[in-house]
Amino acid sequence: MKKFLILLTCIAAVAACTKKEVPTWTNPDQPIVTPDGQAPLLKVTPVITKVTETKFENGDAIGITVTREAGAWAENKKLTFDGTVFSGDVKWYPEGTDASTVTAYYPYAATVPTSFSVAADQSAGASASDLVAGSVSGVKPSAEAIVVPFQHKLSLIVFNVANNAGGDLKEISLDGAKLMANLAPDFTPTVDADAPAASVKAFKKSATSYALILPPQTVVLTAKVETTGGNILSQNLAEATLEGGKKYTINMVVNPDDLVIVAQGDIQDWTDGGELTPENPPVPTPVQFEEKLSDGYFTYDNVRYNVVKLDDGKWWMAQNLAYLPQGKTPASDLSAVTAGVFYPLKINDGNTSAEFDTSAEGIAAKGYLYQAEFAFGLKVGDLTTVAAAEALQGAQGICPDGWHIPTGEDIVNLVGKAVPPLTNNTDAPYYDAATSNGSIALLNADGFNMDAFGAISILDNTRTAGTFMGWASGYPDKISSGMFIGSSYAGVTYNTSGDETSGIKNLQFFGLMPMTNKASESAYTCSGTKVSYRVAGPLRCVRDN
């Protein structure tokens, strides 16, 4: 035992004698050096959202300049992104108390750019045309990475496209913009007045979304679309002033023989810059609506919907609404949390999750998924008070004339079961005492055609992405839950719990929740539930009388 203790003592002594102290970088009388005698490398943590990605990618390079009172320490040095930070061979100066200003820009160039041109052909991607830059002052040498807040310097144009022309679109472009800007030392761009106007091809993000980047400028643009059939359709836009760091939306409807630009849409990324409108805005076409209750249907915006009079004495739609206001495009991106309307869902080919169904057949069978504000005929973000939410009970919204979004009373008098503060109605015609729930089997026996269609779960207005709701591993071949939109106010949460002055975080409305996660169809349930106002779900309208 004694020999063992002596051995441990010797080992500890050797370790103490050979251990090299690591400096703390805080003594102003000592040079800043790492344990190997070198100054630490300068590293940058970026804060940025790029145009087509949510973060920088491995291999992206920035140019960085470090300036202190004594002059420039590093000029236009290249740093490369490794997935977490930008770094290279730039080392800090040893004087630890001297502060400096760090300026960085992307994409890197061999010399600091005094001008910048966006690509005329951005169809392969717009990132290379996305000039971003940032600066931070009062920086002292440190072994830690410094945080540089980058900002977009140019203007992003996003096209929301409703394609009624058949087939894929070959190309979308904008004519009339200047592509070159002169840059100030802080990278603020000013369009080159002598640059020629040109045409810019947009990047296809999805079948319904295109994007391109332009220098800030005041300009009259022409939107052009080339169809696969070779037709070139165009629409002049009103004069617009594009500002750096802002996103502008162009909502377009592509018909076989004409292109319609409409002034409607939501801003979701960058800073809100608004919509680019047509030079002569079209007059909205009245929405066609015709009831044929005796034949069990109505026609709304040229789509036929089956309807049924149920044993609660009311007429209900017997299929989900698939209505889009003129120029509105449904989203197929879970990060589009203020889109208002999304494509319906289906199970993927491997039965491993839900996914969007953009097919015409899927839309006809399942309708669209609507966020509450959009269903009410509002813009997402318009509801900011409880009083405004309460006033929407029984609203028509996007339902046809004479029909409304279901109220809590409609729901509980139909299926009998709902969450508090609604009171259960065990006398409701489709209440099943055996399950203490509303019964899908009873509803469907009378022609309601209810199923679980899923939803996009967006829990409150702080969320930056939604999730698919409805698929469960226990029932992999079907969607087994969902939430339908309703119009009766059900609850509120605030950014600070209980503090109304902190602003609304979430509003809830009573809606329908179908559940088919049962072994037998006879056990499928449908009951009233609270639905967060940013959740996107199907809609069944109810006739007023």
Q: What is the model's pTM?
A: 0.53
Distance set, CA 238 to CA 213, 245, 261, 263, 401 (Å): 18, 21, 11, 11, 33
Check whether residue 376 and residue 461 sit in a common domain.
Answer: yes
What average pLDDT does this structure show over 123-134?
Answer: 90
Which residue, 121, 152, 183, sits at the end of a domain?
152
For residues 241 and 255, give the distance between their C-alpha atoms in angstroms, rounded to a whole number.
28
pLDDT digits (tens, 9 = 90+) for 185-194: 999 999 999 9
pLDDT digits (tens, 9 = 90+) for 378-416: 989 989 999 999 999 999 999 999 999 999 999 999 999
Classify residue 21: in a domain, yes or no: no
What confidence score (pLDDT) does residue 534 get? 97
Check whether residue 117 and residue 173 sit in a common domain.
Answer: no
Check whether residue 429 and residue 343 sit in a common domain.
Answer: yes
CB atoms within 10 A of CB 243: 15
> Within 13 A of 367's CA, how many CA atoms are on the CB side?
29
The yes-or-no verdict on residue 519 having pLDDT over 50 is yes
Check whether residue 345 and residue 484 sit in a common domain.
Answer: yes
Q: Write down the mean pLDDT value for the chain.
A: 86
Helix (H) or strand (E) holding 503: strand 499-515
Q: Tell the residue number behind the tokens 């319906």, with chain if given.
A: 344
Check whether residue 180 and residue 257 sit in a common domain.
Answer: yes
Whichever domain contains 201, its CATH number is 2.60.40.2630
Check whether residue 125 and residue 160 sit in a common domain.
Answer: no
Check whether residue 397 and residue 257 sit in a common domain.
Answer: no
Comparing 141 with 334, the larger pLDDT belongs to 334
pLDDT digits (tens, 9 = 90+) for 314-367: 999 999 999 998 778 899 999 999 999 999 999 999 999 999 999 999 999 999
What average pLDDT does this structure show over 480-493?
Answer: 96
CB atoms within 10 A of CB 58: 9
The yes-or-no verdict on residue 119 having pLDDT over 70 is yes
Q: Tell the residue number behind the tokens 């996107």, with chain if given.
A: 536
**With 0-12 CB in 10 A as exposed, 13-18 as middle and 19+ as buried, what is 148?**
buried
| SS3 category, 534 | coil
Classify residue 433: in a domain, yes or no: yes
Helix (H) or strand (E) holding 369: strand 369-371
**Is residue 473 within 8 Å of residue 453, measured between CB atoms?**
no
Any idea which of 95-104, 175-184, 267-276, 312-321 has the lowest mean pLDDT? 267-276
Domain that holds residue 83: 44-152
What average pLDDT does this structure show over 210-223?
Answer: 93
For residues 487 and 539, give the distance between their C-alpha atoms in angstroms, rounded to a whole number.
11
Amino acid at 461: N
For residues 503 and 384, give the distance between their C-alpha atoms in angstroms, rounded to a whole number.
8
| SS3 category, 388 | helix
* Domains of the chain: total: 3
For residues 347 and 356, give the distance between their C-alpha atoms in angstroms, rounded to a whole number.
8
Check whether residue 188 and residue 106 sit in a common domain.
Answer: no
What average pLDDT does this structure show over 181-187?
Answer: 94
Check whether residue 393 and residue 482 sit in a common domain.
Answer: yes
Check whether residue 84 and residue 191 sit in a common domain.
Answer: no
Amino acid at 389: A
Whichever domain contains 124, its CATH number is 2.60.40.2620
**With 0-12 CB in 10 A as exposed, 13-18 as middle and 19+ as buried, what is 355?**
middle
Check whether residue 369 and residue 438 sit in a common domain.
Answer: yes
**How much of the chain, in percent, has pLDDT values that exceed 90?**
62
Check whether residue 358 and residue 485 sit in a common domain.
Answer: yes
> Within 13 A of 422's CA, how many CA atoms are on the CB side?
28
pLDDT digits (tens, 9 = 90+) for 55-85: 688 898 999 999 998 888 999 999 999 888 8
